[in-house]
A = this chain, B = another copy of it.
Amino acid sequence: MTAMIIVNVPEEMVGDIGRIPVEKRRAFGLGAQRMLWYAEDGDVLVLPSPPSTDFMDYVTGLTGTRASTLRFVIPPPGRFGPDILTADRLVDPVFLRDLGKALADRPVDRITCTYSDLAVTAMASAVGVEDALPGHAFSAQGGDALVNSKAVFRAVAAGNGIPIAPGVITDRPDHAEGTIESLLADGAAVMVKQQFAGGGLGNEILSRAEGVRAAGAGSVVVLADRDAVRRYVSDRWEWLTGHKGHSLIIERYFPDSTTVYAEFVADDDGCVLRGAGEILMEPVATGEVIPPQSVGPEEVAELVETGRRACEPFRLMGYRGTLCADAIRTPGGDLVFTEVNGRLTASSHLHVNLIDRVVGRDRRDDRVFLERGGRWAVPSFAEALSRLAGSGLGYDPHSGLGVVVTADYTPVTGRVTYCAVAENLDAARALEERVANLLSDPTA
């Protein structure tokens, strides 16, 4: 069993790469290196740039993978440089030749990638490993773009009786203006969403008055009257349509909701639950808690059951792989689904690797996992590990408790991401308090 692990970052996930500031692009590249958590002995890894030795040693030390058995293939820098693995790099002829050599004595029977776009399927075809990518035929015809479109989601969910927020998709400014105004005039808040984007970065919240708390979008825009709505739609039209004439989504926004998800793996027989979690929106995704803590077991059961129904049509269209159904639980107690994603999510590596491989599947039900990005300020990954070791807060395989450093953003943001593993939420929060107080640099 040899896997090829592809740490790709396609535009269908993050939007027009040319418009992403260089620092954020570098951060995406660093985040993508979390894919190292998937590595097992003998795997072939296709990376944007070499991993740091510190990060590689730490991750493989926890997963029990022998780093010396791994083989790395790194394509030449592409149109956007060496930081992220863009489509052009994956079909580069020099890279494809190198990859062919790397695979010559390692028959690949499984491809794990962030997102199966046309570059990944073309690459798989070029080196003759189409069969290692489940759903290749669907993905090779651009199918994954459908699975990840927020507009397709709304149609398919509505068509299958999955509860979604009241709203519309549109490609007409006048329709957008009328819909937004109508919702605001009714006293509701509004969320506008680009069709393709992730982590709340393509969303904006609109409100008639001040005081709405943002979650799932970077900001709240106050539009006092219809004229303000008209100006907003006109000024933001290019951004709202993804600079590519895409339709946009306009939905009622439910303030003060909890964000949850149920993640599945679609195979030939059905959608198999991988796990559920709760996303911490402050105001966009900064971390998560597994299992969800703000909703009860019955609500989690409903999330899983309805989430599976929301994912199943995409499996029946031909998609194979990770399907994650996102939902909010409103203050009124309703479960409202917001999207389905057909790709590895920021949660996937926690469920597959940190929980099931590092901590162990048998302990899953006795632990709370609290992952958080952007809080722990530290000059380098090595320094983070050193402080962790000195404090006694680091993850202990024997007890299955403690802090794991899951991603290294220090070269760009001066932060690492960590996951506190504890016996309950209070203990997890206590752990992260100690990280903040004892291990993190004071920040301005």
Residues of A participating in the B interface, judged by any CB pair closer than 8 Å: 118, 135, 137-138, 140-143, 146, 151-152, 154-156, 158-161, 168-170, 244-245, 247, 312-313, 316-319
A390, B244: Cα distance in complex, Å: 60
Contact of A141 among B135, B137, B141, B154 (CB under 8 A): B154
Q: Is the CB of B143 within 8 A of A155?
A: yes
A138, B313: Cα distance in complex, Å: 13
Chain B residue contacts of A318, Cβ below 8 A:
155-156, 158-160, 313
Nearest chain B CB to A362 CB, angstrom units: 36
Report the nearest B residue to A140, measured CB to CB. Answer: B158
A-B contact pairs, 23 of them (CB 8 A): A118-B168, A135-B159, A137-B161, A138-B155, A138-B156, A138-B159, A140-B158, A141-B154, A141-B155, A141-B168, A142-B154, A142-B155, A142-B169, A142-B247, A143-B155, A143-B156, A143-B158, A156-B317, A160-B316, A160-B318, A244-B245, A312-B316, A317-B317
Report the nearest B residue to A160, measured CB to CB. Answer: B318
Interface centre among A151, A159, A245, A319 (most CB of B within 10 A): A159
A312, B318: Cα distance in complex, Å: 12
Q: A313-B317, A318-B313 are in contact. Are A169 and B141 (CB under 8 A)?
A: yes
Report the nearest B residue to A318, measured CB to CB. Answer: B159
A123, B313: Cα distance in complex, Å: 28
A416, B168: Cα distance in complex, Å: 41
A154, B118: Cα distance in complex, Å: 14
A168, B244: Cα distance in complex, Å: 21
Interface of A is mostly: helix
Nearest chain B CB to A142 CB, angstrom units: 5
Q: Using A138-B155, A143-B156, A146-B146 as known contacts, list a sample of 6 further A-B pairs with CB atoms less than 8 Å apart, ordered by residue number in A.
A: A137-B158, A142-B155, A143-B159, A160-B318, A316-B316, A317-B317
A169, B158: Cα distance in complex, Å: 27
A230, B131: Cα distance in complex, Å: 33
Nearest chain B CB to A157 CB, angstrom units: 8
Chain B residue contacts of A140, Cβ below 8 A:
158, 168
Interface centre among A143, A154, A169, A317 (most CB of B within 10 A): A317
A247, B143: Cα distance in complex, Å: 13
Closest 4 CB pairs of A and B: A159-B318, A138-B159, A143-B155, A137-B158
Q: Is the CB of B135 within 8 A of A317?
A: no
Nearest chain B CB to A159 CB, angstrom units: 1
Nearest chain B CB to A88 CB, angstrom units: 10
Q: A160-B318, A317-B317 are in contact. Are A146 and B138 (CB under 8 A)?
A: no
Q: Is the CB of B146 within 8 A of A155?
A: yes
Chain B residue contacts of A118, Cβ below 8 A:
168, 170
Chain B residue contacts of A313, Cβ below 8 A:
313, 316-318
A146, B317: Cα distance in complex, Å: 12
Q: Is the CB of A138 within 8 A of B152?
A: no
Interface centre among A141, A244, A245 (most CB of B within 10 A): A141
